[in-house]
A and B are shown apart, each in its own frame.
Chain A
């Protein structure tokens, strides 16, 4: 009886500690995720703006989006850091609002995704208002969440 209690306490401790380490693994420290991206602006690009998007994985697939106004004739660099995600999502950049039938996907993460790589960039040829869509897959896992950092740089 005493042994069983010790074993079950040990198992409980192990599961609690692994749960905590998992939470730590997917914790989102916005400034750290963005700091990594900021380094990739140098030397030509300057920081313009950034956005941290919290991602909650649900039983059904879901989406969230960002509208990005760009000024005509200027150069931009889009940077994404997906290190804060416990599970892959897709990132698509459209030239028109996502509900538009005439939209064109200018960038899709799934087309450039590499194992172990967590930073991706995109530089539009033409600058106009753009739309980023995060497509979050369905999951049966409960309380699964993370975040993705987006940072925009400009060059005049």
Chain B
């Protein structure tokens, strides 16, 4: 498993360089079709997918992310987010907090965060997302039903993605995701401090692959240099993963995770202040 991870990390780093020098054997059990198409020019339209925050939270949960009270961003802080930029980032922060509550069966805080998301969506002119699916009622009528709640959260994600595309706001997606990613990493690293385990450390390390895509997606979306500071902060976190090149098993050590956590907290504090 760890060897596989080294490959992924290596590919991630190699992607930053001009030439890939891996000589990994073809994947077994998959039909290997000879590549005959022309290569995609690096500069040609290449886009970067970002996973759903819910999926990251669920993977963390399966690796030991239990519920620790008072870690999430207080819902009352919503009143201090007055710029569109901070509203987008904190939409992501609260989305991650909602996911964290849902996967840990904390329904009431999840509903509170949903109300926050609704308020922020109104400020960001994305009201239709919440009106179209009767989210609050669905959440309240599914209290305690873990599976239904995760489906509702997944529905929210697809509605958000559709809305951003349909309204020419695709550049907003990576900013919202940045907030969600920082918060999920923060929750993972903090829970790991109280209940450290190898699986969670492995999953936290694996996020370097997502961070790589996030930085590229944000850079593409940063046409007016509005996200420069955020990108710089994320690059600092990304640089922290460079130690993986020298780590024997390709996974961050306990102390490296703690150092990563310090960086994550710094960026998070800037966002939620």
Taking beta carbons and an 8 Å cutoff, which residues of A are in contact with B? 30-31, 34, 38, 46-53, 61-69, 71-74, 90, 92, 94-108, 111, 124-126, 128-129, 131, 133, 135, 152, 154, 156
A46 touches B41 (CB 8 A): no
A46 touches B34 (CB 8 A): no
Is B262 part of the binding interface, using a Cβ–Cβ cutoff of 8 Å?
Answer: no
Question: Within the assembled complex, what's the spacing in Å between the Cα atoms of A111 and B32?
Answer: 12
| Minimum CB distance partner of B52 in chain A | A48
CB 8 Å contact bits of B1-30 with A (1 = contact, 0 = none): 100110110011001000110111011111
| Minimum CB distance partner of B163 in chain A | A31
Interface size class of B (residues with CB under 8 A): 35 or more
A133 neighbours in B (Cβ, 8 Å): 37, 40
Is B150 part of the binding interface, using a Cβ–Cβ cutoff of 8 Å?
Answer: yes
A48 touches B33 (CB 8 A): no
Asked whether A66 and B49 contact (CB < 8 A) given A30-B166, A97-B20, A129-B209, the answer is: yes
B11 touches A129 (CB 8 A): yes
B206 neighbours in A (Cβ, 8 Å): 71-72
User: Which one of B29, B47, B51, B209 lies within 8 Å of A66 (CB-CB)?
Assistant: B47
A92 touches B37 (CB 8 A): yes
List residues 126-178 of chain B with CB under 8 A from any CB of chain A.
150-151, 154-155, 157-158, 161-162, 165-166
User: Which one of B33, B45, B150, B158 lies within 8 Å of A104 (CB-CB)?
Assistant: B33
User: Which one of A50, A66, A73 lies within 8 Å of B48 (CB-CB)?
Assistant: A66
| Minimum CB distance partner of B212 in chain A | A69
A105 neighbours in B (Cβ, 8 Å): 32-35, 37
B8 touches A129 (CB 8 A): yes
Is B39 part of the binding interface, using a Cβ–Cβ cutoff of 8 Å?
Answer: yes
B238 neighbours in A (Cβ, 8 Å): none
| Minimum CB distance partner of A132 in chain B | B49
B46 touches A64 (CB 8 A): yes
A96 touches B38 (CB 8 A): no
Asked whether A48 and B55 contact (CB < 8 A) given A65-B40, A135-B37, the answer is: yes
A68 touches B49 (CB 8 A): yes
A52 neighbours in B (Cβ, 8 Å): 165
Is B230 part of the binding interface, using a Cβ–Cβ cutoff of 8 Å?
Answer: no
B26 touches A72 (CB 8 A): no
Question: Within the assembled complex, what's the spacing in Å between the Cα atoms of A69 and B59?
Answer: 14
User: Which one of B33, B48, B54, B154 lies within 8 Å of A108 (CB-CB)?
Assistant: B33
B31 touches A106 (CB 8 A): yes
Question: Within the assembled complex, what's the spacing in Å between the Cα atoms of A47 and B152?
Answer: 11
B157 touches A128 (CB 8 A): no
What are 22 A-B interface contacts by the 8 Å CB criterion? Answer: A38-B158, A48-B52, A50-B158, A53-B47, A62-B44, A63-B44, A64-B40, A65-B45, A65-B47, A66-B47, A67-B46, A69-B51, A69-B210, A96-B11, A99-B20, A106-B30, A106-B31, A106-B33, A124-B30, A128-B8, A129-B11, A156-B59
Is B269 part of the binding interface, using a Cβ–Cβ cutoff of 8 Å?
Answer: no
A34 touches B162 (CB 8 A): yes
B150 neighbours in A (Cβ, 8 Å): 46
A68 neighbours in B (Cβ, 8 Å): 49
Question: Within the assembled complex, what's the spacing in Å between the Cα atoms of A68 and B216?
Answer: 12
B62 neighbours in A (Cβ, 8 Å): 156
Question: Within the assembled complex, what's the spacing in Å between the Cα atoms of A92 and B39?
Answer: 11
| Minimum CB distance partner of A95 in chain B | B27
